[in-house]
Chains A and B, each alone.
Chain A
Amino acid sequence: MSVIAKSVGKGGVNLPDDVKLVRQLLGKFLKGQGKPPLSDSGVADSALTSAIESFQSKVMGFPKPDGRIDPGGKTIARLLAEPAAKPAAAAAPAAPADAPTEVSVTYGAVDKALQIVSPYSIAVVGKALVLAKMNRAVITSTLRLPADQARIMYGNARTNLKNQFALYGSTGDAVLKVFEENEDKSEAQIINLMRLKIEELLGQGRQVSRHVTTVAGYAKLNVFDIGVNSTKAVAGKTFSIERLTGAFLKLKKDGYIKTFIDETAKSNRCWHLEIVPNAKDL
């Protein structure tokens, strides 16, 4: 998947989420032109087509703008590279001169049902790629539902409970206590009790793992990992741990990323990102 899943604009597929993202991305260009931003709509109308054509003509120098943005194409890459509109302009990252002309963000071995990172967050990663002069990134982990977490913890606890207690902080330990106190019950009953405990703790804002949340919770805060090895495999010569780490740090400082944890030197080798969708104009 590119930053947009399908084409947007004249003759495009125009998926609502893609259209909304492009409208948002065009906002800063329009503001620079002294024009009002496009509405927050998922519909591809003539105003959108006109804005795309204007961007392609004035910014990209296309002699014959086609009014359409394709996934992985030059226009979307350039839109991502544009500094944000004022007043955030001073803090916004400027695109490096040798930024890639195409960027895409794909999913690795992530269940189809869990491929729910918002277009906004994908665009933030796209921005990081542009800053890092890289062309590809791979999402290797998104959310984990309480029931899945309960199953995983049950299996691990069954194998070596002491080891699991040593691995977790107090929130995880509280879930393991449920296992310990209910060992006489059936597997299904224990897993269900562990799931209920995980959900109860989530209600207090306590997470067994930073990835564990509900689908509703995930919509408010996108938590996901970009895998080092998976990204390296597809980014080829453009790959750079240092540059992408630096880009994420910059975007965190600029307010696009709520939490960034550099786990590239750890066993799970990833960049861990937590992004509030639409927290800041792209």
Chain B
Amino acid sequence: MLIGALVAWALGATGIAVHFAAAAGSASPATLTKAPVAPSSCPIGIATAQADLERLAGHPQVLASGWKDIDSDEPVVRDTLDFGDGTTVIVEQKNCRIANLSVTLLSPAAVPNASGIARMAAALGAMPLWKQRYRGQDASALLAAELASASFAEHHKQGPSFTYATDALPPQSEGDEALISFMADSDSASPFRSAFTLSISAGGDGD
């Protein structure tokens, strides 16, 4: 089941995604040609960071897609970065009354290596929410510290799939939360043997 989850995650096979067709002649596998429309009640904007992400070190190919979340009707934008060497980073934004940003490193290694963490951090640093809220933070150091943390080790001992809350990003409102998720399967036939995610929710009252 874990393998299936990893593969499904890797493919973005949520069953609810509405991918936008590739523009003719585009270098990217597909392009987000029209952003999902946010309800007028949503104060926080949402947009693909495709152009910025394509300029990152390693020049990944970036697939941008967007849809509406089936539960909340919130617009979702996902940028998938393929670095051409088996490593993929997925950045997803779901912003409305609360801003949700998640960055996932899908790695062929059982534990993400420094190169993968650097790519994940670079993608994180390119996102509008990160720039707005956490500009002074060293994303690479933060992610590496989480991998080396006692919390990570403790959860890893108990199983290959876990999520925990981290204090690494000081909250600026009562609705803020930051979570670390990890899934690993060293026996997997999936091209990805681990998935490492930082997800941030920012804003809102959280009651």
Contact = CB atoms under 8 A, between A and B. Distances in A.
Residue of B72, B74, B162, B204 with highest tally of chain A CB at under 10 A: B72
A166 B179 contact: no
Interface residues of A, number: 31
Interface stretch (B15-23, B82-90, B112-120, B167-175): B167-175
A172 interface: yes
A161 B170 CA distance: 29
B205 A169 contact: no
Contacts of B42: 166
A152 interface: yes
B163 A206 contact: yes
Interface in B1-50: 42
A109 interface: no
Nearest to B39: A166
B204 A167 contact: yes
A206 B73 contact: no
A268 interface: yes
A266 interface: yes
A264 to B, nearest CB: 12
A205 B164 contact: yes
Interface residues of B, number: 30
B205 A266 contact: yes
Contact of B206 (A166, A169, A177): A169
Contacts of B96: 166
Interface of B is mostly: loop
Interface string B50-80: 0000000000000000000101111000000
A116 interface: no
A188 B199 CA distance: 32
Contacts of A165: 69, 71-72, 74
A266 B97 CA distance: 13
A272 interface: yes
Given A204-B165, A211-B174, 17 more contacts: A166-B72, A166-B74, A167-B175, A167-B204, A168-B201, A169-B98, A169-B204, A171-B165, A172-B206, A173-B71, A206-B177, A207-B177, A208-B206, A209-B175, A211-B207, A259-B170, A261-B171
Interface of B: 42, 69, 71-74, 96-98, 100, 151, 162-165, 170-177, 179, 199, 201, 204-207
30 contacts: A162-B72, A166-B42, A166-B72, A166-B73, A166-B74, A166-B96, A166-B97, A166-B98, A167-B97, A167-B206, A168-B98, A169-B201, A170-B177, A170-B179, A170-B201, A176-B71, A204-B162, A204-B165, A205-B164, A206-B163, A206-B177, A208-B206, A209-B206, A210-B171, A259-B170, A261-B171, A261-B173, A261-B174, A263-B174, A267-B205
